[in-house]
Structure formats: structure tokens, C-alpha cells
């Protein structure tokens, strides 16, 4: 399965453990560097969540945000969706996305403070492709 299934602009609604109200925003996936990578940019319509970008290959996602944080995730994609994971002794993360049709995705994010021995719910997101 190719990352091309993600290309385009998506609107999302996120339900995050840190806030009672839903958070909305946009993501855009586009091929760059002669198609070798996919550039992902996203913005949140909430001041407490950092705008960010990522560079995706078929196996890894390199994340950067406005706070100066950089993270590297292992990435897997198949016909049902995609997932990424980053194991770190202090703060691990994993994210699973499932396609809910050609222009919809539902996702789940979790974190761990013990290098993945136990996982805690962090957020869910629902995406709709708008272009």
C-alpha cells in the first residue's frame, strides 16, 4: 500500500484527554522531492496544540513542531490504514489510523511513560478529505 492514499487536504476533529472540547484543524499531505517523500503539514484551531510538519517515507515519519520538538517514528501502511510508533524510555507514542472509506479516517493515539510496557489513551481523531 502506498502513501498516495493519504494525499490531499483533510479536516479533522480531535478529542484529546487534555481538553473537554473537541479541537479542529487541517492536515495536508503532498509528494515532494520528485515524489520520494510525502510532506505532511498540519494546523490546529486551538492555541494549546502546536502546528507541525512531518516528512514520511514508506518506513519512517520524521516529526517537527513549532516548539522545536523533533521525533522519529517507525511507520507501517497497509490497505486498512497506517500506524506509527516511537519507543523512548521517558515518553513513547503510538498512533493507529484506519480508513473509513476513500475520504475518511479514524485514528487513535496513545502514550507510554515506561517504554511501551503500558499504554494510556491520549486522543482520537476523525478525518474527512476535502480536496
Q: Does the reported pTM lie above 0.85?
A: yes
pLDDT at residue 1, rounded to an integer: 58
CA distance 76 to 84: 6
CB hemisphere CA count around 113 (13 angstroms): 3
Q: Are 87 and 116 in contact (CB under 8 A)?
A: yes
Average pLDDT value for residue range 68-91? 94
pLDDT tens, residue by residue, 113-122: 998 999 999 9
> Three-state SS for 70?
strand
Q: Which fold has domain 3-129?
A: Lipocalin (2.40.128)
Judged by phi (left if over 0) then psi (alpha if -120 to 50, else beta), residue 69 lies in beta
All three cell numbers of 49: 496544540
Average pLDDT value for residue range 43-57? 96
All three cell numbers of 97: 489510523
pLDDT at residue 103, rounded to an integer: 97
Each domain of the chain, given as residue ranges in start order, spans 3-129
Amino acid at each position: 500500500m502506498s502513501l498516495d492514499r493519504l494525499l490531499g487536504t483533510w479536516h479533522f476533529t480531535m478529542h484529546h484527554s487534555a481538553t473537554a472540547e473537541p479541537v479542529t484543524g487541517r492536515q495536508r499531505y503532498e509528494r515532494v522531492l520528485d515524489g520520494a517523500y510525502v510532506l505532511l503539514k498540519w494546523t490546529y484551531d486551538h492555541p494549546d496544540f502546536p502546528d507541525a510538519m512531518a516528512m514520511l517515507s514508506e518506513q519512517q515519519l520524521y516529526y517537527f513542531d513549532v516548539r522545536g520538538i523533533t521525533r522519529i517514528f517507525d511507520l507501517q501502511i497497509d490497505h486498512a490504514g497506517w500506524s506509527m510508533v516511537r519507543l523512548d524510555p521517558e515518553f513513547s507514542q503510538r498512533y493507529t489510523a484506519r480508513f473509513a472509506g476513500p475520504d475518511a479516517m479514524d485514528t487513535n493515539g496513545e502514550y507510554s511513560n515506561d517504554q511501551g510496557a503500558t499504554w494510556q489513551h491520549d486522543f482520537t481523531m476523525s478525518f474527512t478529505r476535502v480536496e
